[in-house]
Amino acid sequence: MTSSAELFATAQKLMPGGVNSPVRAFGSVGGVPPFMVGAKGPYLHDADGNDYVDLVCSWGPALLGHAHPAIQDAVHAAVDRGLSFGASTPDEGKLAQLVMDRFGGVERMRMVSTGTEATMTAVRLARGYTGRDLIVKFAGCYHGHLDGLLAAAGSGLATLSLPGSAGVTAATAAETLVLPYNDPEAITAAFARHGDKIAAVITESAPCNMGVVTPEAGFNKFLSETTTAHGSLLILDEVLTGFRASDAGYWGLTGRTEGWVPDLYTFGKVIGGGLPAAALGGRAEVMDYLAPLGPVYQAGTLSGNPVAMAAGIAQLSHATDEVYAHIDEKSLALQGALADALTAAGVDYSIQVAGNLFSVAFGTSEHGVHNYAQAQGQEAYRYAPFFHQMLDSGVYLPPSVFEAWFISSAHDDAAMNKIFDALPGAARAAASAVPSA
Ligand SMILES: *Cc1c(COP(=O)(O)O)cnc(C)c1O
């Protein structure tokens, strides 16, 4: 069998950086990324014959663990019926209904293939509906790689220390106002100045792409009230948190009890069950501005692809209360073990939490992390040795400190114990890390 090292060397000749998505290249942690050849339950298997407990879960989609039998069966059955028809299919409505049953205020849906497409469409729709140009986003929030939202966009860029992206025109950047997160005064000030020009505020329902940052109590509600008061829209990006932080994403932990809904939601990751599916949804009056009913154009050759719909339906049908209870419980246990190990090793840290999603931030115990500036100010250099010690012990963490840790319902005691056993050594590696010159 070809080793990861050989595969990576070859890949670097074939693809920029050897990868098809930047964070996979291990840029911030260094070393050779293991090339994966299979996955089952909580485990990944690499080309060198190593097994890892997976705390990335495909960056979210593997809510039920890898190769869950119900999803595999649904996909096999869908494949047997044909791969893509270029016409409407019954399953698109079924998946839409499953989403509407969970999230308040979703009266219409449109299926797309990636989270980026979902947010791109939501932004265009907000502009088309309001007749306004400006979009407000928060520093450190990631909404996919559409030009207008790449300013201060968190993990991938933070990992590479890029402020934004080359190739984005000044005119495009000027149509996005970037505000500090968790700062209601900055929002009030922006609306006081530009209120009648702001088409929408887009926010991660809980930011997970600058590491996890907890929205302060009432923050999302405040965004909902402020946008409504000014005739602009709130786009709640649930691409990462949706169907994961709770049955109804992070909105399920906030809006559902606080009594508000956004104008538009974006979904991705979990909704596709591991295949490329994503969606936007929201108020009928806004959504019906999309073609063919309305003037805002949007389309997709593979949108609502039958195999992806089958995977998504199977995933959401099996994402029961028990699944969320299991993930919540394992998440708490892991946060506790991580805290114990870091404390014992004398490492200064905070654990940032949003529901069952969390991440570690080094050197931040005094204030925690409430915004992008604080996320970037942490002792990020402690993460690479921590990460590699975990990897050597058979635990696959996100290869960047600016990412959330993902647990699945397949993470059983054996898998959790393997993580717990690895933590003390990794904590000691973090303790002895020195900043690079
Ligand atoms: C991953 C992510 C996206 C982009 O989704 P892709 O499917 O990678 O295009 C958008 N928003 C958030 C919050 C995400 O985490």
77-87 tens-digit pLDDT: 999 999 999 99
**Rounded-to-integer distance, Cα 169 and Cα 148, Å:** 9
The answer on pLDDT for 1 being more than 60 is no
C-alpha 189 – ligand 1 centre gap (Å): 28
Pairing of strands 395-396, 51-54: parallel
Worst-scoring range by mean pLDDT, 21-30, 155-164, 255-264, 390-399? 155-164
| Nearest one of 22, 64, 29 to 324, comparing CA atoms | 64
60 within ligand 1 shell (Cβ under 6 A): no
What count of other Cβ atoms lies within 10 Å of the Cβ of residue 51? 16
Show the CA angle centred on residue 291, arms to residues 288 and 297, nearest 5°: 120
pLDDT digits (tens, 9 = 90+) for 419-432: 999 999 999 999 99
28 within ligand 1 shell (Cβ under 6 A): no
Instruction: Return the H-helix or E-strand segment holding 128.
Output: helix 115-130
Distance from chain centroid for Cα 111: 18
The answer on pLDDT for 152 being more than 90 is no
The answer on pLDDT for 407 being more than 90 is yes
pLDDT digits (tens, 9 = 90+) for 301-347: 999 999 999 999 999 999 999 999 999 999 999 999 999 999 999 99
pLDDT top residue among 152 and 181: 181
pLDDT, mean of residues 276-295: 98
The answer on pLDDT for 269 being more than 80 is yes
User: DSSP code of 405?
Assistant: B
Ligand 1 atom nearest to CA at 238: 13
Tokens of 222: 């405040």
**Rounded-to-integer distance, Cα 261 and Cα 90, Å:** 28
What count of other Cβ atoms lies within 10 Å of the Cβ of residue 170? 6
278 within ligand 1 shell (Cβ under 6 A): yes
pLDDT, mean of residues 122-137: 97
Residue nearest to atom 11 of ligand 1 (CA): 143
pTM exceeding 0.95? yes
pLDDT digits (tens, 9 = 90+) for 159-195: 555 557 888 888 888 899 999 999 999 999 999 999 8
142 within ligand 1 shell (Cβ under 6 A): yes
Mean of per-residue pLDDT scores for the chain? 95
Please give the pLDDT value at position 170.
Answer: 83
Three-class SS state of 33: coil
| Residues acting as catalytic residues | 142, 237, 269
116 within ligand 1 shell (Cβ under 6 A): yes
Three-class SS state of 325: helix
Tokens of 366: 């005094």
245 within ligand 1 shell (Cβ under 6 A): no
Please give the pLDDT value at position 306.
Answer: 98
Please give the pLDDT value at position 181.
Answer: 98
Residue at 268: amino acid letter: G
C-alpha 425 – ligand 1 centre gap (Å): 32
Where in 41-140 does DSSP place strands (E)? 43-46, 51-54, 108-112, 134-138
C-alpha 70 – ligand 1 centre gap (Å): 25
Please give the pLDDT value at position 155.
Answer: 64
**Rounded-to-integer distance, Cα 114 and Cα 268, Å:** 6
Q: What do you get for the CA distance between the two ends of the chain, in Å?
A: 39
pLDDT, mean of residues 212-224: 98
403 within ligand 1 shell (Cβ under 6 A): no
Counting ligand 1 atoms within 8 A of each CB, the residue from 239, 241, 250 with the most, and so the one to mutate, is: 239
pLDDT top residue among 168 and 410: 410
C-alpha 437 – ligand 1 centre gap (Å): 33
Tokens of 390: 């975990």
Ligand 1 atom nearest to CA at 141: 13
pLDDT, mean of residues 206-232: 98
Please give the pLDDT value at position 174.
Answer: 86
